[in-house]
């Protein structure tokens, strides 16, 4: 009799037991399907129990929260299915377009990304088909698990269940971000190779773990009061335009040693014809007469300096031909394939994003108040204009606010341009951009007696590059065999060829001017063409490159030209955070104490980027190298850079020109 009762009870509760089993097992299935579709899960089994558990919990607890909220397995299962598919799909396409997975900090710049999202080609992959089938199957499973009848709500137990489920998610989030054990077992990426975390620790856990980047951490040993006192000391040592001032007492030995090594190896003075100042320097006009035009050209890179392939003709003939009154070469940026505003930040401030959370965007997240910078210094020096120009949407990367806080008087965007302005691939051409700059510059020099400062970020070469366009010329063709994605690369090379012609147009115009004028021109990052392309022409992609070879994926051309006599140099292996101080020193522009500090820091670390450091002796350090992190001079720069962004006030003596 008891067996019959138990059998009846089991039959009566069979539906509940099945639903419970499904709800507990289904998150595991979501995890594995996601890893399979994203192709990060080739080694999913060796993840280990700890990693499996927390990936599972990040699927399970949201499902249980939906269950508590809706009191039904149907929306819980269906909602988890949709979330899994969306998360995995975004990662698949991000890897296609940018070769990087989704991090939580990407959500901050989602609006900027959506500006160009419609221009990419979304080709279904094996993973997309897997997710499509899973979406249908998951929604059907949710339908079969629906509850036909609902009992009356007992509000106390309902609210308690919802509160407990969301509290559990909050607790899991806190543990994921701040637990020392989690930090030890699942370390944060430093941006050097963000894909590796997804491969080692699973997609969902890596994504949630990246939320820690929102909680900005100062460098180890940072003390705001101590750094403020340091800036006051350095402001005295670097004041009054003394370019030969030494570092503070603690750092001086390191700098002296670096200078000795530099002199011995010729690393800092590479490209100079002799060790004496050129005669041209003595005839240089005063800084108060020099106009300055700065152009950061979107995705402008000399791929043949990084990659081994030949073309039917020179891709950048004008750039390569410039020698007189010119300093040029290759410099290292901290970004690849995107995150343009981070290159802007490093150029305008002299700070390095090496000390910021991986994949963060200072323009978007941190620059909320006026901040001393190169552009704000132009205001202190009485420069007219101080106009930022960008032929695309005003809201991208929060530029409108960031530019204002960095000292620009106005920002001209694509919304301010004529509707019929020339475009290629639906983007304003670099030639039209140059015409626009020339017209603006002409107006400014007629209206003002003061020197003029213009800052421009172009848009022509922005990705994607794998979408064929009829309006892109086919002048440049690859003649080497075995180059992967050749059509994509050729389209990109032809865009760069057009940028080179636009640069020539600007330089030819400046040659006609009587007013002393300097043009600074540089790229922001390399194009995010497929890993197969880079593999075919370098033997490795950026995720598998070793040692200093990783920096080959971050080298872009730069150019400093004047329409008056100045020293001609070719200097490679410099990073973008030094560029504006090189311009200041080259043309005797007044510098802040921090500018002088950064300019002299370059002697010790000619390259200092988020993806590696090269010291004066030519030694490469990975960003997490303990030997590098223990060097006093490197630590000091990390403190000063962090303080500059987060704790300094506008007009502080060390960071402000003229104080």
pLDDT tens by residue, 361-378: 888 778 878 899 999 999
Identify the DSSP state of 563.
S
Closest by CA position to 68, among listed 200, 149, 163, 138: 163
Which residue, 378, 337, 339, 391, is CA-closest to 362? Answer: 339
What's the confidence (pLDDT) of residue 435?
94
State mean pLDDT over 268-285. Answer: 47
Coil vs helix vs strand at 455: strand
- Going by C-alpha positions, the residue among 579, 644, 569, 639 that lies closest to residue 606 is 579
SS3 296: strand
Peptide bond between residue 464 and the one before it cis (omega within 30 degrees of 0): yes
Say what angle helices 430-447 and 486-511 make with each other, to 10 degrees.
Answer: 20
pLDDT (0 to 100) of residue 465:
83
Query: 24-35: per-residue pLDDT in tens?
Result: 888 888 888 888
Stretch 635-654: mean pLDDT, rounded? 92
pTM for the whole structure: 0.74
pLDDT at 118: 54
32 Cβ contact partners less than 8 Å away, ≥ 6 residues apart: 41, 44
Q: Give me the mean pLDDT over the 130-159 stretch.
A: 77
Average pLDDT on 317-346 reads 93
> pLDDT band at residue 261, thresholds of 50, 70 and 90?
very low
Lowest pLDDT segment from 56-65, 185-194, 258-267, 486-495: 258-267
Alpha-carbon distance of 597 to 640, in angstroms, equals: 10
Residue 240 pLDDT grade (very low, low, confident, very high; cuts 50, 70, 90) = very low
Cα 216 to the center of its chain, rounded Å: 16
Helix (H) or strand (E) holding 254: helix 252-265
Give me the residue label for tokens 């750039």.
319
Give the least confident one: 166-170, 227-231, 242-246, 427-431. Answer: 242-246
- pLDDT, residue 13, reads 55
- CA–CA dist 650, 617 (Å, integer): 36
Task: Name the DSSP letter for residue 478.
Answer: B
- Model confidence at 486: pLDDT above 80: yes
CA atoms of 647 and 409, how far apart (whole Å): 24
pLDDT at residue 139, rounded to an integer: 84
pLDDT over threshold 80, residue 578: yes
Helix, strand, or coil (residue 211): helix
Gap between the Cα atoms of 172 and 183, Å rounded: 14
Average confidence (pLDDT) over 401-421: 90
Average pLDDT over residues 490-512: 95
Residue 354 has pLDDT above 70, yes or no: yes
In this predicted structure, what is the pLDDT of residue 203? Answer: 79
Helix (H) / strand (E) containing 332:
strand 326-332
- The pair of structure tokens assigned to 477 is 């063709």
β-partners of residue 4 are none
SS3 (DSSP) at 540: coil
Share of the chain above pLDDT 70, in %: 82
Q: What is the mean pLDDT of residues 214-232?
A: 87
Please write the tens of the pLDDT for every residue from 443-462: 999 899 899 999 999 999 99
Residue 28: count of CB within 10 angstroms of its CB: 14
**What local confidence, expressed as pLDDT, does residue 97 receive?**
65
Give residue 273's pLDDT.
39
Residues 539-550 have a mean pLDDT of 77
From 64-68, 206-210, 293-297, 438-442, the region with the lowest mean pLDDT = 206-210
For residue 343 the two structure tokens come to 């290159």
Average pLDDT across the chain, whole number: 82
pLDDT at residue 637, rounded to an integer: 96
Measured from the Cβ of residue 534, the count of other Cβ atoms closer than 10 Å reads 26
Higher pLDDT, residue 278 or 450: 450
The pLDDT tens digits of the residues spanning 156-175 come to 877 887 888 888 888 888 88
User: For 288-313, what is the mean pLDDT?
Assistant: 92
CA distance 137 to 145: 12
Structure confidence by residue, pLDDT tens digits, 92-120: 877 776 666 776 666 655 555 555 555 55
Query: Which tokens belong to 470?
Result: 């009829």
Q: What is the largest CA-CA distance in the chain?
A: 111
Structure tokens at 616: 């004066």
Q: Looking at per-residue confidence, does 350 or 253 come out higher?
A: 350
Average pLDDT over residues 389-394: 87
- Segment holding 591, helix H or strand E: none
User: At how many degrees (to 10) do helices 14-38 and 2-12 cross?
Assistant: 50
What is the distance between the alpha carbons of residues 61 and 592, in angstroms, rounded to a whole number?
A: 52
């Amino acid at each position: 009799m008891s067996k019959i009762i138990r059998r009846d009870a089991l039959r009566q509760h069979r539906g509940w037991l099945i639903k419970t089993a499904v709800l507990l097992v289904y998150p595991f299935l979501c995890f594995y399907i996601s890893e399979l579709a994203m192709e990060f899960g080739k080694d999913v089994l060796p993840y280990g129990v700890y990693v499996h558990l927390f990936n599972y919990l990040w699927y399970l607890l949201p499902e249980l929260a939906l269950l508590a909220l809706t009191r039904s397995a149907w929306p819980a299962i269906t909602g988890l299915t949709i979330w899994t598919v969306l998360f995995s799909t975004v990662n698949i396409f991000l890897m296609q377009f940018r070769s990087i997975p989704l991090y939580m900090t990407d959500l901050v710049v989602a609006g900027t990304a959506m500006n160009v999202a419609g221009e990419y080609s979304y080709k279904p992959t094996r993973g997309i088909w897997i997710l499509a089938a899973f979406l249908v199957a998951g929604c059907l499973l949710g339908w079969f698990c629906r509850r036909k009848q609902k009992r009356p709500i007992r509000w106390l137990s309902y609210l308690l269940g919802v509160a407990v489920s969301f509290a559990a998610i909050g607790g899991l989030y806190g543990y994921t971000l701040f637990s020392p054990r989690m930090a030890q077992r699942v370390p944060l990426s430093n941006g050097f190779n963000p894909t590796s975390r997804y491969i080692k620790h699973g997609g969902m856990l890596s994504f949630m773990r990246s939320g820690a980047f929102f909680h900005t951490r100062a460098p180890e040993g940072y003390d705001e009061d101590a750094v403020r006192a340091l800036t006051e000391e350095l402001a005295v040592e670097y004041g009054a335009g003394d370019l030969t001032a030494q570092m503070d007492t603690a750092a001086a030995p390191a700098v002296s040693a670096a200078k000795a090594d530099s002199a011995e190896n010729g690393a800092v003075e590479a490209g100079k014809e002799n060790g004496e100042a050129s005669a041209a320097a003595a005839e240089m006009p005063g800084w108060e007469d020099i106009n300055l035009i700065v152009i950061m050209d979107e995705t402008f890179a000399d791929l043949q300096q990084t990659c081994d392939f030949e073309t039917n003709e020179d891709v950048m003939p004008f750039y390569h031909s410039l020698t007189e009154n010119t300093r040029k070469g290759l410099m290292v940026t901290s970004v690849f394939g995107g995150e343009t505003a981070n290159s802007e930040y490093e150029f305008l401030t002299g700070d390095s994003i090496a000390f910021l959370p991986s994949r963060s965007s200072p323009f978007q997240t941190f620059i909320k108040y006026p901040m001393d910078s190169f552009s704000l210094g132009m205001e202190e020096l009485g420069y007219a204009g101080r106009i930022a120009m960008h032929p695309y949407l005003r809201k991208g990367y929060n530029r409108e606010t960031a530019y204002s806080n960095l000292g620009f008087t106005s920002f001209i965007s694509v919304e301010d341009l004529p509707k019929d302005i020339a475009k290629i691939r639906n983007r304003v051409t670099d030639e039209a951009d140059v015409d626009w700059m020339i017209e603006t510059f002409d107006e400014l020099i007629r209206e003002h007696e003061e020197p003029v400062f213009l800052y421009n970020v172009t848009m022509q070469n922005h990705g994607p590059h794998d979408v064929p366009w009829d309006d892109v010329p086919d002048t440049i063709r690859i003649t080497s065999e075995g180059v992967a994605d050749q059509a994509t690369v050729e389209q990109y090379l032809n865009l760069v060829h057009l940028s080179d012609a636009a640069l020539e147009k600007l330089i030819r115009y400046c040659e006609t001017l009587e007013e002393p004028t300097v043009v600074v021109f540089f790229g922001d990052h390399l194009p995010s063409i497929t890993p197969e392309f880079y593999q075919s022409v370098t033997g490795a992609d950026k995720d598998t490159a070793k040692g200093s070879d990783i920096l080959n994926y971050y080298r872009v051309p730069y150019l400093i030209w004047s329409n008056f006599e100045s020293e001609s140099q070719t200097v490679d292996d410099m990073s973008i955070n030094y560029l504006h101080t090189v311009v200041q020193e080259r043309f005797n522009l007044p510098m802040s104490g921090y500018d002088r500090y950064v300019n002299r820091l370059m002697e010790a670390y000619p390259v200092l980027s988020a993806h590696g450091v090269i010291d004066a002796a030519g030694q490469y350090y990975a960003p997490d190298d303990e030997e590098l992190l223990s060097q006093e001079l490197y630590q000091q720069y990390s403190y000063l850079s962090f303080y500059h962004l987060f704790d300094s006030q506008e007009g502080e003596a060390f960071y402000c020109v003229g104080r």
